[in-house]
Amino acid sequence: MSDYQPPLNDLSFVLEHIVGYDEIAALPGYGHADLETVRDLLAAASEFIVEKVAPLDRAGDVEGARWNPDYSVTTPKGYQEAYDAYRAGGWTGLQFPDEFGGGGFPAVAGLALQEILTSASIAFSLAPLLTQGAVDALLHYGSDEQKATYLPHMVAGDWTGTMNLTEPHAGSDVGALTTKAVPNGDGTFAITGQKIFISYGEHDLTQQKVHLVLARTPGAPEGTAGISIFIVPKYLVNPDGSLGEANSLKCLSVEHKLGLHGSPTCVMSYERATGYLIGQENKGMRIMFVMMNNARLSVGLEGLAVASRAYQKSLAYAQERIQGTAVGGTEPVAIIEHPDVRRMLLTQRAQLDALRALILLNAGHGDRAKRHPDAAVRQREDEIVGLLTPICKAFGTDLGVELSSTALQVFGGAGFIEETGIAQQYRDARILPIYEGTNGIQAADLVGRKLGIRQGQSALEYLEEIGAIDGTLEAAGEGFAAIRSGLAANLGALKKATGWLLQTSAGGDFDSALAGSAPYLRMWGLVLSAWLLAREALVAKDLGDAEFAETKLVLARFHAEQLLPAAGALLGAVTRGRGDLYTLSPAQLAG
């Protein structure tokens, strides 16, 4: 058994009162997926995950994944058994269509389950997570034959999927990739090239791996406009659906990494491997973005999940570790009695509650964007998803690192020692602001693409929705006064920053707009956090549970008074423009 405890009560609370899950369950096709069913499902999954997956987190980190001379990869002890049980339980396909063997649940329900699995062991969770992204891409763009061939097995978890974007010379600049796809004359393509940083590119959990590979066909345009995407399976599939001969691909090595030791990060080589075009030639980036947008919200969730596991460890340690005396006392006390430790614990809890609400809220908007019967509502919900996704990814993963570091700080010197286990969360979290588009790219996406939708009206309308809570906070009484004033002041600063960026971009000074993009995204994250914590406190006030109401009110007030002011302080950084960023030469920077 593990010391990890899934936050089932908070997940249920957020789904019901912040996401508005009952509205989602009423959308076409979700009649079987009511909130009570989701609660039961999460509880059942939690029992399995706590018992079978969570204990693998530390053990998998110590053992790590191992590359073998025959190009195979061995995952840590216990992974195979746990994956087989996870697959047998039907958890891999919860949010996918029943026509391919899935549960047909809303994506927000699948994301709630994903938080529990990821907190239990992020390294283990990456195999089903990446398969989900590949399934989404095939659902949107695969041919009927491709769907029939691959999706039932992938949804069931019998086959896993990967994303193959990055090459040694083409990281964030995907358009620089050189992997070739040459027609074979029979409708297939010969794929030749090398891909790096491929999570679960090779492993022993399943026999078949379905690689989605970006490559260029002969004569394709330069840059991203000339990229196509191909299914390149490890084993070719026979007409009867059985696995045939091995394809011409292999794993050359497994990276030695700071964290995520249990997850094999592979260097993949393709030598005239047989590939099958998905969709049309030169449309690969459009298709890949289906996977990437799905993954970006999931990676933001990873920040929440890893930090949540770290918080639970730090809270337990703070209650056990006896050190020093309280002010005015004479007897040694647990460190949770010291003000600075209390501040660190409250900081973690407040931001984790807010981040959980933000990520699930975004997923709920996504479900409405897909299934709402009103086209205008679908369009607006899709706009909100576009706005919130880079914030969820970047803010969520920044917090994943920061809060894991805070949790380690609670341990003091013991946290720096690997045997206590908390260092693992800090190491595992560090990749999250980097992969699936660095957080700088997320900020540039927010300012360069999402902010300009409908000449800025889309974002401005959402800011007005946030501000509409003011009257409710005023009526809630004195206990909410600090929350109200803090939110109003910092929302005002965010509106000023938004106006400045829209004006600056309209004037053509894109460098200055992008120079302020990272602090601008941070402003959004902090203001959204305060707004969502305020909403939670308002709901909790009327539920009849005095202790729960007090918890939510204190968290919202603490955030408004001690964390939210950082948003307003960032206004100057946003509006300074490119300023001194380009003044010093590299030689001057070197000193």
Query: Got the DSSP string for 485-512?
Result: HHHHHHHHHHHHHHHHHHHHHHTT-HHH
Query: Got the DSSP string for 251-276?
Result: EEEE---SS-TTS-EEEEEEEEEEEE
DSSP 3-state assignment of 354?
Answer: helix
Q: Residue 463 and residue 473: Cα distance in Å, rounded?
A: 16
Q: Residue 368 and residue 390: Cα distance in Å, rounded?
A: 19
Q: Residue 547 and residue 549: Cα distance in Å, rounded?
A: 5
Question: What is each CA distance from 463 to 120, 469, 511, in whole angstroms?
Answer: 35, 11, 24
For the chain, how big is the Rg over CA atoms in Å?
24
Pseudo-torsion of CA 436, 441, 443, 445, nearest 10°? -90
**Which residues is 269 bridged to in the sheet?**
194, 250
Q: Residue 136 and residue 138: Cα distance in Å, rounded?
A: 5
Question: What is each CA distance from 467 to 43, 239, 318, 382, 532, in whole angstroms?
Answer: 35, 58, 37, 21, 12
Query: Got the DSSP string for 360-425?
Result: HHHHHHHHHHHH-S-HHHHHHHHHHHHHHHHHHHHHHHHHHHHHHHHHHHHHGGGGGSGGGSHHHH
517 contacts 391 by C-beta, under 8 angstroms: no
Element at 16 (helix H, strand E) = none
Query: Token match 């696995």: residue?
Result: 243
Identified catalytic residue from 281, 436, 461, 474: 436
336 contacts 366 by C-beta, under 8 angstroms: no
**Which residues is 230 bridged to in the sheet?**
213, 277
23 has catalytic annotation: no
Q: Which long-range contacts (CB under 8 A, 24 or more apart) does 503-511 make?
A: 504/577, 505/447, 505/448, 505/451, 505/452, 509/577, 509/578, 510/448, 511/577, 511/578, 511/582
DSSP 3-state assignment of 197?
Answer: strand
497 contacts 489 by C-beta, under 8 angstroms: no
Residue type, 309: R
Can you read off the two tokens belonging to residue 582?
């380009």
Active site residues: 436
